[in-house]
Amino acid sequence: MSHPLISDVFCDSYSALIGFVARRTGNRQTAQDLVHDAWLRLAERGPRGDETSQGATRAYLYTVADNLAIDHLRRAGRTAERFDGSGNLDMPAAAAVRDVADRHLHREALAAVDAALAALPARCRAIFLADRLEGTPHVELAQQHGVSVKTIEREVMRALDAVEAALLRWRGDATVQRRGRRRALSTLLGVGGLALAGSAMWQAWRPFVPGWQVVLATLRGQQLEQALPDGSRIALDAQGRAEVRYYATRREVALRAGSAFFNVAADAERPFVVEALGARITVVGTRFEVAVGDDGDLRVAVEQGHVRVQPPGAAQQDLYSGEALSWSAHAGVQRAPAQGEVAPWRSGWLDFRHVPLHAAVQRLARYSPVALRVAPEAADLTVFGRVRIAEAGAWLRLLPRSLPVTVREEGQGAERALLIARR
């Protein structure tokens, strides 16, 4: 994955570097995440120019880590709690990469599998790789090798036995268990992107195994901005969750909840794909927002560039700068210009343009330290306006001046809620 010099310097400096960053951030878990980010950047970049000594490489590594710590502190300062000033501001942990020790163990395991396959007869190895990695039907394999289908099945099982035996020896188990061969192999091949030089098996499997992954999540009243290894960035709004996986031939994000803004670095060889609520949004390089609503609706808005949207059960749509598309089960696909700023929550605002009151309140609830409720008879009243997130509590209490509603608090402590009812 990286130059040997970089790996040596990182392993030697790992503990000291975490301590260095932890003193700046005041949080050891955050320090580990930032150090891992520094490692990824250095591994992707490789040594350059006069950075051929351990001293020069170590200095560069410390500089990158220090800059990441500074950026983190600046983002934490900007990510003040929204709404009315109470709540938890701790940023969620992001499991960006596995520990270095795990990487070495996985490398050893892959080496054991590679050796086991290399020891097989040529025909058996070829049949196994075609079956496992290319999905070639057994009938076709039988025709290619001039044998029966049963012979193909026996060769595949023979190879699986050899792989399982190698894994069990690596784990220190003496007895080969005939159950779980497929699970053992798939578990091994899913542990991470650790390429073995010259391994035909790894090269064939590489497109299907993520080389880098991270889970991003935010709590109520929090926002998060995350840099990705290729220079892309994701901004995640409050109560959001996104799972990011980078493969050799593609970059994928599964947006599970909330709103996210993507600034994607162009890479024609690796499309950037966002999946949300069954829709698939594909780009090469652009800036756009994907928002998953609490009612199961989806919105895509393009600030710059071009995205291709495939809504579930609908025709594919191409969106360009200044265009937006929304989808919901009851209204279907609707396309319109993106009115106003795309993802205004990044600058602390929300825009409501003829939005039902219940939808606007659901959106504000992502920042509220107390529960927000709308009575059924007031749910469909229309809201139009621009709301500063930090002053959303005051905005809600002033609603009776523009809508026929009352706003009152109910309950106490953890049960406290703000109820909006029609008058």
Write out 31-45 in H/E/C secondary structure: HHHHHHHHHHHHHHH
| Element of type H or E holding 362 | helix 357-364
Report the amino acid identity of residue 183: R
Q: Is 65 within 8 Å of 13 (Cβ atoms)? A: no
Q: Residue 47 — very low, low, confident or very high, per pLDDT cuts 50/70/90?
A: low
Measure the N-to-C terminal CA separation of the chain; round to a whole number of Å. Answer: 65
Per-residue model confidence (pLDDT) at position 183: 42
In this structure, what token pair is assigned to residue 207? 């497109």
Q: Which domains occur in the chain, in start order? A: 1-78 (no CATH), 100-208 (no CATH), 348-422 (3.55.50.30)
The residues near 49 (Cβ < 8 Å, ≥ 6 apart) are: none
pLDDT in tens, 365-411: 999 988 999 999 999 999 988 999 989 888 998 999 999 999 999 88
Per-residue model confidence (pLDDT) at position 242: 94
Q: What is the mean pLDDT of residues 193-207?
A: 48
Phi-psi region of 393 (alpha: psi -120 to 50; beta: other; left: phi over 0): alpha
Per-residue model confidence (pLDDT) at position 107: 61
* Interatomic CA distance for residues 373 and 408, integer angstroms: 10
Residue 171, pLDDT above cutoff 80: no
The verdict on pTM exceeding 0.75 is no
What are the φ and ψ backbone dihedral angles of 289, each rounded to 5 degrees? -115, 140
Q: Residue 204 — very low, low, confident or very high, per pLDDT cuts 50/70/90?
A: low
pLDDT in tens, 295-310: 889 999 999 999 999 9
pLDDT in tens, 248-272: 888 999 999 999 999 999 888 889 9
Report DSSP letters for 155-199, one per residue: HHHHHHHHHHHHHHHHHT--S--STTHHHHHHHHHTS---PPTT-
Q: Which residues of 255-280 are buried (b: 16+ CB within 10 A; e: fewer)?
A: bbbbbbbbbbbeeeebbbbbbbbebe
Q: What is the mean pLDDT of residues 350-369?
A: 92
